Amino acid sequence: MFVIPSKSFICLLAILAGFVLGLASPSQADEAGLRSLIGQFSTGSGFSDTEKTIDDIAGYSDEAAVPLLRALADGTLMILRTDRTVVIAKEMASGFVLNDPLSLEKIGEGVAADLDKIKIKNSLRRKITDAIASMTLSAPRPKVRLKAANDILNRPDVALLEAVEIALSVEKDSAVSSALSAAKAAIILDSDRDEAEKLDAIKTLASKGGRDVATLLSRYQATTNSVTLQAAAQEAMVQINETLAMWQVGQNIWYGLSLGSVLLLAAIGLAITFGVMGIINMAHGEMVMLGAYTTYAVQEVIRNSAPGLFEYSLLIALPSAFLVSGAVGLAMERGIIRYLYGRPLETLLATWGVSLILQQTVRTLFGPSNKEVGNPQWMSGAFQVGEMLITYNRLWIMVFCLLVFALLLFILKRSSFGLQMRAVTQNRPMASSMGIRTPWVDAFTFALGSGVAGIAGVALSQIDNVSPNLGQSYIIDSFMVVVFGGVGNLWGAFVGAFTLGIANKFLEPYAGAVLAKILILVAIILFIQKRPRGLFALKGRSVEA
Amino acid sequence: MISKFLFRGFERRINYVLAVLVIAAALVPLSNLVLDPSNPLHIPTFMVAVFGKYLTYAMLALALDLVWGYCGILSLGHGAFFALGGYAMGMYLMRQIGTRGVYGDPVLPDFMVFLNWKELPWFWTGFDHFWFAALMVFVVPGFLAFVFGWFAFRSRVTGVYLSIITQALTYALLLAFFRNEMGFGGNNGLTDFKDILGYNIQTDATRAALFAASALALALCLLVCSAIVNSKYGKVLISVRDAESRTRFIGYRVEHFKLFAFTVSAMMAGLAGALYVPQVGIINPGEFAPANSIEVVIWTAVGGRGTLVGPIIGAIAVNAGKSYFTAAFPEFWIFALGALFVAVTLFMPKGILGLFRQAMNKSRRHDTSTNPGLLKETTPHPEAAQ
């Protein structure tokens, strides 16, 4: 940090140092040089000096100066009266917060009387925009260049044409290069070049595609006078919108799959308990909620005792949630449900009572407000596929959901426990006669279903609010999935969940989120009339089974 | 003919309750309006309003008992019929506000002015007449129940499946009524009522009259239900509950019996809702919440399902308990309610009346079970076990 006793001398030195060492670009010297240039704002007076300084900074071509120039254009670059330091001042309720113009770190606070604004005018603003554009266009990181090119595409400025052309001629990165040519085309459309060149520009834009280009072209079509250009823009827009519509379908499918995987996770445990034992477990949603709260508790413990493990918190939470929910489920089965076998409606009421108790218990222990469950690094962020945005947490949840499904399928079809479960489902008295301990199978099936609900809670804690009411918001949807898919068959739940998810997301753009949900509910109610046992009904000989 | 039909409803236990209700309808308003507040027999207005509310709840529980207790249809959506009846009444009360609303629009209710609507939606026409609203109180829930039941019973959706789709029904209605575009006041519902039939809704006299109306309506519903279940039709209903397939194989059109009971029950629930709204002064989509409908089931179960009298006792007892607990130990009420669900299903499947009868039988040492609702159902039929 500079203390500035004899400014001019040090400035001179610094400029020299900057010029000599700048080419070898050791960042220390770079920064020093830049700082001395910034210092000129405080020594100079009048617009011409400011303009010269801007030019100097632009010549320096260091992207670190971009925020500073933006601040200058916005009028937040100020000079501290006491020691003539240049700062970026942000106005707050209590006064100004002063930040260093390069590092952007907070260096103090001040009031309006301490600060002199560096005055600028419109022609200077133009100059600043150009300087920022040329600096970012030649920035070393491709990401910065790409953003700069896209910024120009969205706000084309004829003055930047030359800069864009120069940048395009030296650009090596193909993505940046394509963005730059689109930016160039956008500028050409605004410029006074001839029609042939503009037609070419429209073609370039059409091949680039995307939402931004579509708005740009529609704006252009409305303002241009030339009929040929209008037609060309129209054609390009139709082409772009077709592609966009396709991507939109893709995006909807993705959203639908994502919603479907959430539904499947929430419903799969229910499919097991309902399928094998015919028990409607109204407390199923609370098992999911318990799983989410277990995640919260695990993260709290990790935060307090071993912060390094935070990235693995979900992996630790998974078995914990399975055990917690599974144990509660086991206790429920042994304590209540087993006395109610053969009375499904009474079971429904008793489990509803349990769900109330569990909710209130959690509310008493953790408080009624939402708890924040952190996303580990690998679950946050998003990436782009064409025009589709895919977030990592949704992606991981889908992967996780499929894993859980596969694992359960394996347990049901390949393990001896699964064999016993299926035997009990298909013919309880016969299974019992063959020596299967049906009460034991019942208890552990219920525990398994509850445990799976618990691990669903771990996943859902990443995308939903963790509150005592978490389970309530999933319970009806889960029932719909199971009833729609048909009981006693995991594939029924699978198909049901993804069908409902995708149908919901395709209806949403036309009907709105709430109406889409209502339509789905009505559709299921009607569907049940047609197939009272769901899509994949178990075949049986009993009259009412 | 109707009197002959209703006459069949008179039965000892029913008679007691009918007498109590009629006496309450006469005495409670009298005590509230005539006696001096310092008199120990005076009933304060807030108590009149609270018990009036309980009576409408009791009517709802009675309606549910007709389908659940006597026909085996566990509806988890009876709150929807209740709320629809309430909305029909609410719409009438909204139209009575006239120019006294915040915006002073003579035709449009406040929320429509707020949403910048220019004219009344078509489905609000007619609700400025009491007779029309009163008709709709029965027609709307009845029609919905008829259509829903027509589809559901004809395709033989039974047991838990039926319960779940009734729950889906009320959930769908909940979501729908939350939408402002529906034209029912969205989130806030209908409120800020002024007059009913020209009488100020806030006065003690109106409140007392509403209480009396609720008590008499409940008495009438009880009589109708009792007549239904004691008729030949009622016997078939019970056989549907206990062995649906067998009844069908004997030659009865099971779905017709169920549909009739379901529709009548929905209309009764609608009437309950219509009496509920002027007494609490608001109706909003929260009444459609699935949790509310399940709570009705527990009132019925606590009192004793399939007894007609039991649900009335259960609804009043549970709600009185709720009022007490939520005031005294607000944290504790949900625990108590949850425990009630579990305890009733596990330990007293026949409710309070069942316990009472058990105690009586023990002391008298003989079984006088003549009431069809309390037929021995200790061993569940194999069909029901599926």
pLDDT in tens, A268-295: 888 888 866 778 889 999 999 999 999 9
Q: Residue A462 gets which letter from DSSP?
A: T
- In terms of pLDDT, which residue wins out, A179 or B243? B243
- In terms of pLDDT, which residue wins out, A60 or B3? B3
Closest chain A residue to B152, measured at CA: A529
CB-nearest to B165 from A282, A349, A528 is A528
Alpha carbon distance B310, A136 (integer Å):
80
Q: Minimal Cα–Cα distance from B341 to chain A, Å?
A: 5
Q: For residue A142, what pLDDT is reported?
A: 79
Chain A (331-390) residues lying within 8 Å, Cβ to Cβ, of chain B: 336, 339-350, 352-357, 359-361, 363-364
Q: For residue B1, what pLDDT is reported?
A: 66
Cβ atoms of B305 and B354 within 8 Å: the answer is: no
Q: Has residue B158 got a pLDDT over 90?
A: no
CB A526 to CB B151 under 8 A? yes
- In terms of pLDDT, which residue wins out, B285 or A43? B285
Q: For residue A276, what pLDDT is reported?
A: 65
According to DSSP, the residues that pair with B283 across neighbouring strands are: B190
Q: Minimal Cα–Cα distance from A343 to chain B, Å?
A: 6
Structure tokens at A378: 């690998």
Chain A (140-199) residues lying within 8 Å, Cβ to Cβ, of chain B: none
Tens digits of residue pLDDT in B370-381: 444 444 444 444
According to DSSP, the residues that pair with A97 across neighbouring strands are: A90, A109
Closest chain A residue to B300, measured at CA: A349
Q: What is the ipTM of this complex?
A: 0.85
Report chain B's mean pLDDT, rounded to a whole number: 88
Closest chain B residue to A515, measured at CA: B176
- In terms of pLDDT, which residue wins out, B238 or A509? B238
Q: For residue A19, what pLDDT is reported?
A: 46
Rounded mean pLDDT, A220-227? 78
CB B345 to CB A353 under 8 A? yes
Helix (H) or strand (E) holding A97: strand A96-99
Alpha carbon distance A325, A452 (integer Å):
8
Q: Has residue B207 got a pLDDT over 70?
A: yes
Rounded mean pLDDT, B148-169? 88
Cβ-based contacts of A278 with chain B (< 8 Å)? 160, 386
Cβ-based contacts of A352 with chain B (< 8 Å)? 294, 341
Q: Has residue A14 got a pLDDT over 70?
A: no
Q: Has residue A318 got a pLDDT over 70?
A: yes
Closest chain B residue to A347, measured at CA: B345
Q: Minimal Cα–Cα distance from B18 to chain A, Å?
A: 30
Q: Which of B200-214, B266-280, B322-336, B369-383 has the lowest mean pLDDT?
A: B369-383
CB B341 to CB A356 under 8 A? yes
- In terms of pLDDT, which residue wins out, B91 or B382? B91
First to last CA, chain A: 82
CB-nearest to B338 from A360, A479, A517 is A360
Q: Minimal Cα–Cα distance from A528 to chain B, Å?
A: 7
Q: Minimal Cα–Cα distance from A360 to chain B, Å?
A: 6
Cβ-based contacts of B337 with chain A (< 8 Å)? 353, 356
Q: For residue B366, what pLDDT is reported?
A: 52
Chain A (503-522) residues lying within 8 Å, Cβ to Cβ, of chain B: 514-515, 517-518, 521-522
Q: For residue B371, what pLDDT is reported?
A: 47
CB B163 to CB A343 under 8 A? no
Q: For residue A286, what pLDDT is reported?
A: 94
Q: Has residue B237 got a pLDDT over 80?
A: yes
Q: For residue A52, what pLDDT is reported?
A: 78
CB A280 to CB B176 under 8 A? no
CB A350 to CB B338 under 8 A? no
Alpha carbon distance B133, B137 (integer Å):
6
Q: Has residue A27 got a pLDDT over 60?
A: no
Tens digits of residue pLDDT in A338-376: 898 878 888 888 999 999 999 999 999 998 888 888 888
The sign one gets for the Cα dihedral A366, A371, A374, A380 is positive
Rounded mean pLDDT, A73-83? 79
Q: For residue B352, what pLDDT is reported?
A: 86
Nearest alpha-carbon partner for B78 in B12, B23, B142 = B142
Q: Minimal Cα–Cα distance from B68 to chain A, Å?
A: 10
Chain A (472-501) residues lying within 8 Å, Cβ to Cβ, of chain B: 472, 476, 479-480, 483
**Half-sphere exposure in the Cβ direction for A72 (13 Å, CA):** 30
CB A352 to CB B341 under 8 A? yes
CB-nearest to A342 from B161, B178, B385 is B385
Report chain A's mean pLDDT, rounded to a whole number: 82
Q: What is the SS3 assignment for B269-317?
A: HHHHHHHHHHHHCEECHHHHCHHHHHHHHHHHHHHCCCCCHHHHHHHHH
Q: What is the SS3 assignment for A463-510?
A: CCCECCCHHHHHHHHHHHHHHHHCCCCHHHHHHHHHHHHHHHHHHHHH
Cβ-based contacts of B165 with chain A (< 8 Å)? 483, 524-525, 528
CB B342 to CB A353 under 8 A? yes
CB B168 to CB A348 under 8 A? no
Q: Minimal Cα–Cα distance from A518 to chain B, Å?
A: 5
Q: For residue B259, what pLDDT is reported?
A: 95
Cβ-based contacts of B244 with chain A (< 8 Å)? 544
Rounded mean pLDDT, A38-48? 75
Q: For residue B226, what pLDDT is reported?
A: 94
Sheet harboring A115-117: ordered strands across?
A106-110, A96-99, A86-91, A77-80, A115-117
Q: Has residue B332 got a pLDDT over 50?
A: yes
CB B158 to CB A544 under 8 A? yes
Q: Minimal Cα–Cα distance from B10 to chain A, Å?
A: 31
Q: For residue A402, what pLDDT is reported?
A: 94
Cβ-based contacts of A486 with chain B (< 8 Å)? none
Cβ-based contacts of B297 with chain A (< 8 Å)? 349
Q: For residue A321, what pLDDT is reported?
A: 95
Q: Which of A100-104, A432-436, A467-471, B73-77 has the lowest mean pLDDT?
A: A100-104
- In terms of pLDDT, which residue wins out, B372 or B165? B165
Q: For residue B359, what pLDDT is reported?
A: 85
Q: Minimal Cα–Cα distance from A468 to chain B, Å?
A: 13
Closest chain B residue to A348, measured at CA: B160
Q: For residue A229, what pLDDT is reported?
A: 81
Q: Has residue A61 got a pLDDT over 70?
A: no
CB A518 to CB B172 under 8 A? yes
Q: At what angle do helices A313-335 and A438-460 cross, to 10 degrees?
A: 140
CB B167 to CB A522 under 8 A? no
pLDDT band at A488 (very low <50, low <70, confident <90, very high): low
Q: Residue A4 gets which letter from DSSP?
A: -
Cβ-based contacts of B245 with chain A (< 8 Å)? 543-544
Q: Has residue B368 got a pLDDT over 60?
A: no
Q: For residue A327, what pLDDT is reported?
A: 96
Count Cβ–Cβ pairs < 8 Å, chain A vs chain B.
137
Cβ-based contacts of B164 with chain A (< 8 Å)? 280, 479, 483
For residue A400, the tally of other CB atoms under 10 A from its CB is 19
CB A350 to CB B346 under 8 A? yes
CB A476 to CB B155 under 8 A? no
Q: For residue A106, what pLDDT is reported?
A: 78
Q: Has residue B117 got a pLDDT over 80?
A: yes
Cβ-based contacts of B294 with chain A (< 8 Å)? 282, 349, 352
Alpha carbon distance B299, B309 (integer Å):
12
Alpha carbon distance B191, A484 (integer Å):
38
Q: Minimal Cα–Cα distance from A357 to chain B, Å?
A: 5
Cβ-based contacts of B285 with chain A (< 8 Å)? none
CB-nearest to B335 from A278, A343, A360 is A360
Q: Minimal Cα–Cα distance from A406 to chain B, Å?
A: 27
Q: For residue A540, what pLDDT is reported?
A: 55
Q: Which of A196-200, A532-536, B296-300 has the highest mean pLDDT?
A: B296-300
CB-nearest to A280 from B160, B291, B337 is B160
Q: For residue B250, what pLDDT is reported?
A: 93
pLDDT band at A163 (very low <50, low <70, confident <90, very high): confident
CB-nearest to B386 from A336, A528, A544 is A544
Between the alpha carbon of residue A511 and those of residues A256, A503, A508, B67, B249, the distances in Å are 15, 12, 5, 35, 45
